[in-house]
Amino acid sequence: MKALLELSNVGMKFDTPKGQFEALKDVNLKIESGEFVSLIGHSGCGKSTVLNIVAGLLQATDGGVILDKHEVTEPGPERAVVFQNHSLLPWLTAFENVELAVKQVFKKTKSKTEIRDWVEHNLELVHMAHAMHKKPDEISGGMKQRVGIARALAMQPQVLLMDEPFGALDALTRAHLQDSLMEIHAQLGTTVIMITHDVDEAVLLSDRIVMMTNGPSATIGEILDVDIPRPRDRLALADDATFVRCRQQVLQFLYEKQRKVEPMPKRNSENAEAARKRA
Amino acid sequence: MVTLTFPTWMEPYRALATGKMTGDQWQALLRQLIWPVMGIATFLLLWQLAAQRIDTSLGQFPGPVDVWEQAGSLVDEHQASRAKEAAFHERQEKYIASRLQQQPEWEPVYRSYTGAPTFFDQIGTSLITVMSGFLLASAIAIPLGIVIGLSSTAHAAMNPLIQLFKPVSPLAWLPLVTMVVSAVYVTDDPLVAKSFLTSMFTVSLCCLWPTLMNTSVGVTSVSQDLTNVSMVLRLNALSHVRKIVLPSALPMMFTGLRLSLGIAWMVLIAAEMLAQNPGLGKFVWDEFQNGSSQSLGRIMVAVIVIGLIGFLLDRLMLMLQRALVWDKSSVQR
Ligand SMILES: Nc1ncnc2c1ncn2[C@@H]1O[C@H](COP(=O)(O)OP(=O)(O)OP(=O)(O)O)[C@@H](O)[C@H]1O
Ligand SMILES: [Mg+2]
């Protein structure tokens, strides 16, 4: 099977006041249609940079991305993004937020009523039909994230890109949304790339887990196939042998092979000591 | 069934009427009614005491009671003037009718009444002028602010000019505006008076800046996240401005508009005074020149009315802001 999305030798150098900073180097990845892929790695390694390059919001300085035989040069709705902090327009209701996207993508192909039905359908998909005429201020964080997902899904993207979509949520809401996401993925077969910090989340949701090395010049360290049949059930998986092994491997990668050594910030007591001496 | 709901600020009064006051409601009553009334009463008392000790060349400085009397006499003068005007028109009608009876081929000539404008006429003139100047300024400042906010080139080009002209006092603009209006606006049949244009342009020039600055800052500070959304959706430039930039900038824009209207009102009074253009400023100046024993009292009435109108204009903007802006937390008192 031919890959839907292909990253070849992607590299990214940022110009900073202190000279060039090479964030990514030689990132190679092929993703097939319908696959669910997670990106995992320590903070600051370059996950968002990879995702933004695929989205077209950043231009790779080396290599390139090909989606369905076309090179990615700019952002577009066929690569819909679910942003970490929902990014809903605060002056529009949930319905209007999704509608803006739908109108933009299907202006020429759908009639007025079809557009309305499609917006409602997508809000129902994320179980938000009951609150669709509320503004972002009036709904909870988890609900906002749902609307963000509905907006992305409603564009019928070839690839759904998600940057830590559940990062800011409490554990219960997060589990709930993970289940919804699995349901939707099973139903629609959308190709998904998701960034996460959460090892359990990565194993539960993904077909493959892409593990990134620490920066600078970060690249892909290992790729793990998660051979657990779908539909997956979080309770049953807790002591499933494959689940435990996968989890173990990701943890090993993150905390043994790519252990992050960061200098601890100077302790306050030392500063206080110094101040006293000066006085 | 109809349930009557009271606005929250009325709650203490309802409680007072029904005799069920809680501690919090006493607090609210004190804050809303009792303290403000005490403040005003104290002010009036101090004013009265101070006025008795100030002797000017036009007599004793007016106390609150004198000012109240002058306010009454200004109302009387206005009514008298209106009555005279009505009488004049009636006489004219009669005259024309009788002459037409004798000479049916005669072309009647209608004259308009030319009495001196009353205090209330001057208020009207000032209000019309300030609103025109403010609207003109907004019509320039909002689009310009959007352009400056969107394009760093435009910002770089305009910023020095803005910084230079922003602090200029209206009094410095006035002579220039007067001369330019006189030179450029020459028609035999003027639609509006020159003095109106002079005042209006001076007001516009001075109150442009807060709207301009706030609009451009509001436009610049559209969050990167929303810009990303716009890019993923491939909104074209026009939709991007309409759907993302303008709504984002609206709260800041309104803050600017409110400041602008406040400045416009202050500038207008000064400009009218200096240029002796019709309006409240001219009223004050005329009374000052007039120098009768009632002048100070009448000026004091004007001062209070100017303050009151300024306050009402600000409330008006606040109401508009509350109605139109999505970000309610951006609406300050
Ligand atoms: N615009 C930029 N200019 C300079 N350096 C940048 C820029 N964007 C990202 N970087 C650097 O590139 C590296 C990767 O950043 P990135 O945001 O992709 O990390 P991340 O893996 O998403 O981290 P996190 O998990 O905390 O979100 C970081 O060291 C960051 O400082
Ligand atoms: Mg990130």
Digit-by-digit pLDDT tens for chain B (333 residues) are 455 666 777 777 777 777 777 788 888 888 888 899 999 999 999 999 998 888 888 888 889 998 999 999 999 999 999 999 899 989 988 988 888 888 888 888 888 888 788 899 999 999 999 999 999 999 999 999 999 999 999 999 999 999 999 888 878 888 899 899 888 888 777 778 888 999 999 999 999 999 999 999 999 999 999 999 999 999 999 999 999 999 999 999 999 999 999 999 999 999 999 888 899 999 999 998 888 888 889 999 999 999 999 999 999 999 998 888 887 777 765
Question: Which residue of chain A comes nearest to B227, CA vs CA?
Answer: A87
Q: Which residue's CA is the nearest one to ligand 1's atom 1?
A: A14
Whether residue B325 contacts residue B254, with contact meaning beta carbons closer than 8 Å, is answered with yes
Q: What average pLDDT score do residues A240-245 get? A: 94
Domains of chain A are 5-73+159-278 (3.40.50.300), 81-156 (no CATH)
B204-221 burial, b for 16+ CB within 10 Å, e for fewer?
bbbbbbbbbbbbbbbbbe
The closest CB to that of A89, out of B226, B234, B250, belongs to B226
Binning pLDDT at 50, 70 and 90, where does residue A13 land?
very high
Tell me, rounded to whole angstroms, the distance of Cα B113 from its chain centroid: 28
For residue A123, what are the CA distances in angstroms to A118, A138, A151, A155, B108?
Answer: 9, 16, 8, 12, 74
- Give a yes or no: residue B196 inside a domain: yes
Q: Tell me the pLDDT tens digit for each residue of A128-151.
A: 899 999 999 999 988 999 999 999
CA A167 to chain centre: 10
Shortest Cα distance, chain A CAs vs residue B136, angstroms: 28
Predicted ipTM of the assembly: 0.85
Ligand 1, residue A41: give the atom nearest the CA.
Answer: 21
| CB-based contact B233 A105, cutoff 8 Å | yes
Range of the domain at B215: 119-325
The neighbouring-strand residues paired with A70 are A67
Judge whether B114 lies within some domain.
no
Q: How far is the CA of A193 from the centre of ligand 1 (A)?
A: 18
C-alpha A144 – ligand 2 centre gap (Å): 19
In a domain? residue B10: no
Q: Report how many domains make up chain B.
A: 1
Whole-angstrom Cα distance, residue B13 to residue B29?
Answer: 8
Ion ligand 2 residues within 5 Å by Cβ = A 48
For the entire predicted model, the pTM comes to: 0.80
Testing the interface with B: which of A53, A100, A102 to mutate, by most B Cβ within 10 A? A100
We report the CATH number of the domain holding residue B320 as 1.10.3720.10
Tell me, what's the pLDDT at B166?
87
Residue B299 lies in a domain: yes
Residues in the ligand 1 pocket, defined by CB under 6 Å: A 14, 16, 21, 23, 41, 43-49, 215
* Cα radius of gyration (chain B): 26
Comparing CB atoms, the residue among A80, A89, A91 nearest residue B232 is A80
- Is B255 inside any structural domain? yes
Q: Do A77 and B327 touch (CB under 8 A)?
A: no
Under a CB-based contact definition with an 8 Å cutoff, are residues B134 and B203 in contact? yes
Look at residue B173 and tell me if it is in a domain.
Answer: yes
* pLDDT per residue as tens digits for the range A14-58: 999 999 999 999 999 999 999 999 999 999 999 999 999 999 999
Does A67 have pLDDT greater than 90? Answer: yes
User: What confidence tens digit (pLDDT) does each residue in A151-207 have?
Assistant: 999 999 999 999 999 887 888 888 988 998 998 899 889 999 999 999 999 999 999
Distance from CA of A75 to the nearest CA of B (A): 5
Residue contact A81–B232, C-beta within 8 A: yes
Tell me whether residues A83 and B226 touch, CB distance under 8 A: no
> Per the domain annotation, does B281 fall within a domain?
yes
Strands A159-163 and A79-82, sheet pairing: parallel
pLDDT of residue A271: 53
User: What's B276's DSSP letter?
Assistant: T
Asked if A14 and A170 touch (Cβ cutoff 8 Å), the reply is no
Interchain pair B234, A57: CB under 8 A: no
**B114: helix, coil or strand?**
coil
Tell me how close the Cα of A111 comes to any Cα of chain B, in angstroms. 19
Q: Which residues share a beta bridge with A24? A: A12, A218
If pLDDT is split at 50, 70 and 90, which confidence band does A267 have?
low
For residue B198, being part of any structural domain is answered with yes
